[in-house]
Amino acid sequence: MKGLMMHFPLTVPSILEYGNRVFPSKQVVTLLPNGSLHRYAFADLYRRSRRLSEVLRLRWNIAPGDRIATFAWNQYQHLELYYAIPGAGAVCHPLNIRLSVSQIAWIINDAQDKVIFIDASLVPVFEKVIPMLDHVPDFVIINADKDFKAGFRFMHYEDLELDTPATQDWVAADEDDACGMCYTTGTTGEPKGVLYSHRSTYLHAMSIMSPNAFNISMHDTALLIVPQFHVMAWGFPYVCILAGANMIMPSSHLQSQAIVQLIQQEKVTIANGVPAIWLQVLDYLKKNPPAEKLTLREFFVGGSAVPESLLQGFDELFGIRGVHAWGMTETSPLGTISRLQPHHERLSPDAQRKIRSKQGIEMPAVELRLIKEDGTIAARDGETTGEFEIRGAWVAGRYYNSEAHSDQAFVDGWFKTGDVGTIDPDGYMLITDRKKDLIKSGGEWISSIALETALVAHPSIKEACVIAVPDAKWAERPLACIVIEDGTTVSPDDLKTFLKGSFASFQVPDQYVVMQEIPKTSVGKLNKKALRKLYQEGELKPVK
């Protein structure tokens, strides 16, 4: 027997309808690439997005399911696109501006984007992409001066006349229709598209609002540092509208000084970002202590493991709480979040930070399990290691246009994350490694992440990355690539002695390579794939 409740589809336009109805005066503030501040209200975002949605249909004949790409910063026009595109029944596809030109072209060709909206400041990058496209999208440039020149035909965003009142309503969508798309590049293989639905986007936004997650209310002002081209800025463009939180958009101004100024000027209470950003902000704040306590209450940090020292610095020096969360492009992204439970309150701050730097507990409507090498489910004992598998209401079920990768990653209704670790009896996920980055030496696992974390704790080491290299006797051995702090020195023997305090002998790397810089991926992660390639090519010379 069916329930007798209304059919009320959870759609992206209904999020903005809500924001316009209930929080019309809440603000969207953008520090534009040219340094000027743009400020308007949710009611303006609504009005212009409705009109843009209509313009997409009138001018480009956009039909349900068409992909429309963006190549832009966190800015109000990008928000308008986030709502206007799904509101036209189409798929909003933010392109990662940090990828290589050939990757960007590959992705556009795979998605067959029909129109691409580009910020003027990013045109020089994009011009190199154009010759590699296999089709001819239309282009719209945002924030261009009247006499702006580009090496391709375009129209001005400002000429779309978005202040004209809309006459058409949103295109009615089924909640399972696609509304957004992000490609995951990972560190291996070709990019893979994840196709979000209206429903998954809505449920994810509703869920991350809760006090156990990001705890966002109408009393908050959120600074969106995570780019809109990284997993939909972790859902902030949606949740802020549902929660009635003001949104502060820094566009290209991601230097610590600009971030701190925005926090002070706009009285920001929450913000999101990767550890690299927060490490820089912490460093900046140490050197430039604010005259008044910052309004920032909490910052959310994810994308890679969070160093305890980062949490400690903000805790002790500025009374600001860092909250670590974990997810992937395939998980919308929030899978877990690491907040303390009441019985942790009696622990010392250090012991608490050990828990807070774990990946945390599952969100409702998300289910995590740990699969051992023998295929059975591992106990949640904090010791048994396995690969994390996840399923849930905002977890991808397939990749777009990629059957082979889908068959590998999505098995029996679960997504195989490739992350390896444990779940403790309190339910906290701890990632110890990426599956392919684990080092198996003489039949025993060595965690490259554990070694990296230990190495960077050495006063002479600025960066460290450990990869597996082939070894005749032990099958694999760890190789440590390190960047040395200016004005210091350190020898392999020093490091071996240093590591032996915390690791079994077999776990300590024998070989050390000193580098100027560790290669990074487009999202700033250590690029182990590139290091392995350098090693194979004989480019990595261990120090004697």
Check residue 398 for interaction with a second copy (CB under 8 A): yes
Nearer to a second copy, 397 or 542 (CB): 397
C-alpha–C-alpha distance, residues 247 and 270, integer Å? 10
Check residue 356 for interaction with a second copy (CB under 8 A): no
Minimum distance from residue 178 beta carbon to a second copy (Å): 4
Check residue 403 for interaction with a second copy (CB under 8 A): no
Check residue 178 for interaction with a second copy (CB under 8 A): yes
Of positions 101, 365, 379, 534, contacts a second copy by CB under 8 A: 365
Per the annotation, the verdict on 432 as an active-site residue is no
Check residue 46 for interaction with a second copy (CB under 8 A): no
Q: 147-150 long-range contacts, Cβ below 8 Å, gap at least 24?
A: 148/120, 148/123, 150/123
Nearer to a second copy, 42 or 76 (CB): 42
Options 5-13, 69-77, 133-141, 504-512: segment touching a second copy (CB under 8 A): 5-13
Do the Cβ atoms of 466 and 439 come closer than 8 Å? yes
Check residue 217 for interaction with a second copy (CB under 8 A): yes
Q: How many CB atoms lie within 10 A of CB 268?
A: 23
Within 415-474, the residues that bind a second copy by CB under 8 A are 415, 427
Of positions 83, 399, 503, 535, contacts a second copy by CB under 8 A: 399
Options 8-16, 73-81, 438-446, 526-534: segment touching a second copy (CB under 8 A): 8-16
C-alpha–C-alpha distance, residues 450 and 458, integer Å? 13
Check residue 45 for interaction with a second copy (CB under 8 A): no
Site string for a second copy, 186-215 (x = CB under 8 A): --------xxxxxxx-xx--xx-xxxx--x
C-alpha–C-alpha distance, residues 480 and 180, integer Å? 39
Of positions 395, 420, 467, 468, contacts a second copy by CB under 8 A: 395
Options 9-17, 112-120, 142-150, 159-167: segment touching a second copy (CB under 8 A): 9-17
Q: Which one of 267, 440, 500, 533 is the catalytic residue?
A: 440
**102 in helix, strand or coil?**
helix
Whether omega for the bond prior to residue 333 falls within 30 degrees of 0, making it cis, is yes
114: its two tokens:
């029909």
Do the Cβ atoms of 501 and 458 come closer than 8 Å? no
C-alpha–C-alpha distance, residues 150 and 141, integer Å? 9
Options 253-261, 276-284, 387-395, 476-484: segment touching a second copy (CB under 8 A): 387-395
17: its two tokens:
């309808």
Check residue 218 for interaction with a second copy (CB under 8 A): yes
Site string for a second copy, 305-344 (x = CB under 8 A): ----------------------------------x-xx--
Burial annotation 159-189 (CB, 10 A radius, 16+ → b, else e): ebebeeebeeebbebebebbbbbbbbbbbee
Nearer to a second copy, 164 or 210 (CB): 210
Minimum distance from residue 4 beta carbon to a second copy (Å): 4
Do the Cβ atoms of 417 and 386 come closer than 8 Å? no
Per the annotation, the verdict on 190 as an active-site residue is no
Options 74-82, 236-244, 306-314, 450-458: segment touching a second copy (CB under 8 A): 236-244
Nearer to a second copy, 15 or 104 (CB): 15
Nearer to a second copy, 35 or 65 (CB): 65
118: its two tokens:
């580009």
C-alpha–C-alpha distance, residues 207 and 230, integer Å? 19
Dihedral sign from CA coordinates of 284, 289, 291, 297: positive
Helix (H) or strand (E) holding 31: strand 27-31
Check residue 244 for interaction with a second copy (CB under 8 A): yes
Residues 6+ apart with CB under 8 A from 387: 370, 371, 416, 417, 418, 419, 420, 435
Site string for a second copy, 58-97 (x = CB under 8 A): ------xx-------------------------x------
End-to-end CA distance of the chain: 75
Of positions 160, 223, 243, 479, contacts a second copy by CB under 8 A: 243
Helix (H) or strand (E) holding 32: none
| Complete DSSP assignment for 407-439 | HHHEETTEEEEEEEEEE-TT--EEEEEEGGG-E
Per the annotation, the verdict on 453 as an active-site residue is no
Per the annotation, the verdict on 445 as an active-site residue is yes
Check residue 6 for interaction with a second copy (CB under 8 A): yes
Q: How many CB atoms lie within 10 A of CB 237?
A: 28
Minimum distance from residue 3 beta carbon to a second copy (Å): 3
C-alpha–C-alpha distance, residues 29 and 251, integer Å? 10
Q: Which one of 54, 308, 330, 389 is the catalytic residue?
A: 330
| Residues in contact with a second copy by the rule CB under 8 A | 1-8, 10, 14-15, 17-18, 21-23, 64-65, 91, 174, 176-179, 194-200, 202-203, 206-207, 209-212, 215-219, 242-244, 339, 341-342, 361-362, 364-365, 367, 391-400, 413, 415, 427
Active-site residues, by number, are 184, 330, 440, 445
